[in-house]
Structure 1
Amino acid sequence: MDTTLRDGEQSSGVSFSASEKLTIAQLLLTELKVDRIEVASARVSEGEFQAVKKITEWAAANGFIDKVEVLTFVDGEVSINWMLEAGAKVMNLLTKGSLNHLTHQLKKTPQQHFDEVGAVVALANKKGIECNVYLEDWSNGMRHSKDYVFAYLDFLSAQPVKRILLPDTLGVLTPSETYEYLHEIVNRYPAVHFDFHAHNDYDLGTANVLEAVKAGVHGLHLTVNGMGERAGNAPLASAVAVLNDYVKDVRTSVVEEELYKVSKLVENFSGFRIPVNKPVVGENVFTQTAGIHADGDKKNNLYYNDLLPERFGRKRKYALGKTSGKANIENNLQQLGIQLSDEDLKKVTQRIIELGDRKETVTQADLPYIISDVLDSNSIDEKVKIENYALTHSQGLRPSATLKINFEGEFFEEHAQGDGQYDAFMNALKRVYIRKNIVLPFLTDYEVHIPPGGKTDALCETIITWMHNGKEFKTRGLDSDQTVSAIKATQKMLNII
């Protein structure tokens, strides 16, 4: 059961709109093919009610209504009537799974609680609603009040309840405890269907899921991207991957190839960002950065494991940076269909290392720009060098530039203002060249190219077209800063003339 739309939405700062909830629900059931979805808590708000209504209307029309579940409360008819109005058919009743919660939050005896739960279950069945029961704080109940838990399970096993849901509400279980507690319960109640609901407070959610399945539990509650309160819930993608790879006699209905797509959609809708190193769905988890790893991949896939990116609709990437080395670059060139001589490959490698010292990574999309810049720079003899510059941009003041230029060993310094930072830079440069009695070329065109992907740290290529003595020529500059890339293109022009 995926509970992204209920428990996952309890992540701090996350609130899906009704349309977003419907879209996610549709993808979970039709594309990802989870067995069930828990979409909301009853009575929360009018917006939640409208969202559930949209989902149940779609689900009823498409044969999924029995797969849509709602968290409800022990409140007589109130939650049940809310569900009936919303069109939902399956309720997950929240009850107390530890004596501590029962005594201090509800201030009731076990028998009082059991009677009230029994009354709600009977009413739900009478009104045509299928009922499952949560034992909130069940994990602490097993640790500190096991007699209460078993007394309650004895009671529930005789009720018209389809599934009993056992949550590690505070995420406190160790894997060994998860196995021990669930193995004991499954063996004691062989005719009852039990679900395990893991939280991730100690980063043990996926490990606990694995142990729960080994212990014989019948169902799991998971969320896309591990969303949920505090440290979140056990993540769907990781749990599915580990079950498929390490539990031979268990299969899930989940379509692995759809995990990444749904993950990215939920990330965009929720604003809940996926860590780049999050297993299976993180941006970096199928990216080799170290050159030795890329070299090993070329030699009999030495650094591959069973988590092949193609399983999840993804591709392996080779990061370009200061640690990437020649093998990474060759892999990227091969994917782009580009061949370089050994000499040019060395030069490109060196430039990527230099850029890697300034940027965290260089992307494959940056690579053609880097090659173009390196090969272009190799053909120009550098007699003029812009040593230093300062650019200013202030509210209410004209942009200005101060530069220091090395002209064949002779140094000049000038300051000027302009309509923009680059215009101010060019005005200062013209002042230098007036002193040398040299007329600068006329700028006829100025193009800026940014590699696809829209990342803020992408390299920026500026191509400037110049007219000089009746002839037109182009120079290019490359940098993560647009104005700096234009200045580099301008320095090439100065050396060409």
Structure 2
Amino acid sequence: MSKSISIFDTTLRDGTQGEGISLSADDKLKIAKKLDDLGVHYIEGGIPGSNSKDIEFFKRVQQLGLSAKITAFGSTRRKDSQADQDANLKRIIESGAQAATLVGKSWDFHVHTALQTTLEENLAMIYDSIAYLKQQGLEVIFDAEHFFDGYKNNPEYAVSVLKKAQEAGADWLVMCDTNGGTLPHEISSIVTTLHTDIPQANLGIHTHNDCELAVANTLSAVQAGARQVQGTINGYGERCGNANLCSIIPSLQLKLGYECIGEERLKQLTNTARYISEIANVHMPINQPYVGNAAFAHKGGIHVSAILRDSRTYEHIVPEWVGNKQRVLVSDLSGQSNIVSKAHDMGLDFDQTNEQSRKVIDKIKDLEHQGYTFEAADASLELLLREAGGEMKELFTFESFKMLVEKTAGRPVVSEAFVKLNIAGNNVYTAAEGNGPVNALDNALRKALVQYFPAIKEMHLSDYKVRVLDEKDATAAKVRVLIESRDINNSWNTVGVSGNVIEASWEALVDSMRYALLGQILQKERDVEEPSADQRGLINH
């Protein structure tokens, strides 16, 4: 039996049915290009004619020259009608898609209740629709909706649906666990039986995650003989989501030895998952298997000590195989190995035989006891480590800041910040307004620094989070502020803690600016150490 698996992505169709996900035509085109680069074999773009976005997508996607087959989705003809007169089928043909996914009922309960027709008419609807699309030269993937529920209720009829689709010329027969309630052992047993009932059929699997078994059910189906896998990136989809291709592909390829997208393209998986998460504007769980930010993150000192000797002690695969990377978290659980590992990643020379590492660990534990966290604030951690190693040159010194927040009846709140710094021996005093006190502080601080460090214009704040640490203290509670900052090439996170949200924000703001300037300095040092192409030419001559 072939070990090659066809990957069918329905992020742009089934994935958009997930709550909170809405993609423009431009979004869908960007995602389609990214999926094609990943190497999926089918990209289901949507339902032609159902809305203006999908109409535009199918019109413009032809210009991209993608290798994947663009697939249009639709249902079988209406009951008691003719396929060649069905508006839905005509729109699929007019879309210009190379393949069509046609969904039909395979559960007798649905035929009677949802379609309100006979079992015989449902079979005719399936046959006529597939045969008509095949006559138009399309590849047809038949999705047998509610197949497993239908099989458990009436196996003879469920199988007859697949046989009728095969008879009509369907290229793929896809078994759908539409309600997501089937268990892996049931999937395996039913798919295995189908090989006897429908020999030579190209079987596919489409599962939903209502029991958190979509990935397991998909793997079971493949091991039982299915050769097409349908799913979405990050498991997006209606209710609890669809089968997550980001888990399925590496599990099939790395664990079970199936050929899916190839070794080199598999390295793009993490980048693809995070890119699509950004386009969809949906937060990606940090603990998502394979591609999550914490998928290969280690916090306990014993674990870190072990992975530094051999990563196989606490990692089931090499992270780089899926484009991810190992991360060592620094917290109050950290051992000396964590600090050494983080320092090494930052290019710092920390000798774990001396007292320096221990002092840094103790300081980190003390700060975390106060409410700081460095797991999500790598920039603040790096500044801390560089200071401990005597490698930080202070480019500016804080003198003071003041805040004015004024609210007048009938008018919006006005926030103004006054900041005093010492830069290169000069006292610099600036004032700026902003959309709230933190924005005003950011503007005033930036205004002071840009006179001496013009590169500060290239960075901006991209996220701001506040967490109350001691809820029982109500408005007097200590808060933790996390700030994410970005420039053209990078993003970094800083942290501040205080009983005053403005002071906590100031701490995180100052660290974000310090880190940005540190990056500029380190880049200049690298440029000096690594001569340009012209300089290398002079050196060589």
Q: TM-score, normalised by structure 1?
A: 0.77
Partner of 1:158, secondary structure, is helix
2:45 and 2:484 map into 1 onto residues whose CA distance is 44
Provide the rounded CA distance (Å) in 2 between the counterparts of 1:110 and 1:302: 55
How far apart in 1 are the matches of 2:29 and 2:334? Answer: 43
Matched length: 422
The counterpart of 2:326, out of the listed 300, 312, 316, is 316
Hey, what does 2:407 align to over in structure 1?
396
State the distance in 1 between where 2:247 and 2:220 align. 14
Deviations along 1:252-285, one digit per CA (max 9) or x if unpaired, are 1252101111111110111122111010111111
Tell me which residue corresponds to 1:186.
195
The aligned counterpart of 2:473 is: none
Residues 1:251 and 2:259 are matched in the alignment: yes
Q: In the TM superposition, what are the counterparts of 1:236-247 in structure 2 within 5 Å?
A: 236-247=245-256
Query: Which residue of 161, 175, 179 corresponds with 1:166?
Result: 175
CA contact (8 A) 1:97 1:141 kept: yes
Deviation at 1:373, TM superposition (A): 4.8
Per-residue CA shift, 1:79-120, capped at 9, x if unaligned?
232123221131111110101111100011111111122222
Instruction: Identify the residue that residue 361 of structure 1 maps to in structure 2.
Output: 374
Out of 199, 207, 211, the residue aligned to residue 216 of structure 2 is 207
Higher alpha-carbon deviation: 163-172 or 320-329: 320-329
CA shift for structure 1 position 14: 1.3
CA apart distance, 1:211 = 0.8
Match of 1:279 in 2: 289
Superimposed CA distance per residue, residues 49-95 of structure 1 (whole angstroms, 9 cap, x where no aligned partner)? 11122113434xx555xx11111122333123212322113111111
Q: Is the 1:279–1:285 Cα contact (8 Å) retained in structure 2?
A: yes
Matches within 5 A, 1:349-428: 349-357=361-369, 358-362=371-375, 363-373=377-387, 394-396=405-407, 420=417
After TM superposition, the structure 1 = structure 2 runs for residues 62-461 of structure 1, keeping only pairs within 5 Å, are 64=68, 67-75=69-77, 76=83, 77-248=86-257, 250-254=258-262, 255-301=265-311, 303-340=313-350, 342-357=354-369, 358-362=371-375, 363-373=377-387, 394-396=405-407, 420=417, 443-444=427-428, 456=464, 457-458=481-482
Which residue of 43, 46, 50 maps to 2:56? 50
Shift in alpha-carbon separation, 1:42–1:186, aligned structure 2, 3 A: farther
2: CA distance between counterparts of 1:110 and 1:27?
Answer: 42
The 3 A distance-change label for structure 1 pair 421 and 58 is: closer
Offset from partner CA, 1:171-218 (integer Å, 9 cap, x none) = 111110110111111232121111100111111111111111111111
3-state SS, counterpart of residue 192 of structure 1: coil
Deviation at 1:479?
A: 3.9
Deviation at 1:451, TM superposition (A): 11
Deviation at 1:458, TM superposition (A): 4.8
Q: CA–CA distance in 1 between the matches of 2:269 and 2:9?
A: 12
| SS, match of residue 15 in structure 1 | coil
CA distance in 1 between partners of 2:363 and 2:125 (Å):
72
Counterpart CA distance in 1 for 2:449 and 2:313 is 41
Counterparts in 2 of 1:288 and 1:63: CA distance versus 1, 3 Å: closer
Alignment root-mean-square deviation, CA: 3.4
Please give the TM-score of this superposition, normalised by the length of structure 2.
0.71
Give the letter for the 1:72 counterpart. Answer: G
Radius of gyration: which is bigger? 1
Identity of aligned residues (%): 23
AA matched with 1:367: L
Structure 2, unpaired ranges of 5+: 1-7, 78-82, 391-399, 409-414, 430-447, 451-455, 465-480, 486-493, 498-503, 512-541
Moved more, 264-273 or 337-346: 337-346
Aligned partner of 1:41 among 31, 47, 61:
47
Q: Distance in 1 between matches of 2:240 and 2:59?
A: 30
Contact 2:402–2:417 at 8 Å: present in 1 too? Answer: no
The code of the aligned residue for 2:405 comes to S
Q: Distance in 2 between matches of 1:443 and 1:460?
A: 28
> Contact 2:461 / 2:483 at 8 angstroms: preserved in 1?
no
Aligned to 1:410: none
Tell me if structure 1 keeps the 8 A contact 2:210–2:241. Answer: yes
Q: Which residue of structure 2 aligns with residue 379 of structure 1?
A: none
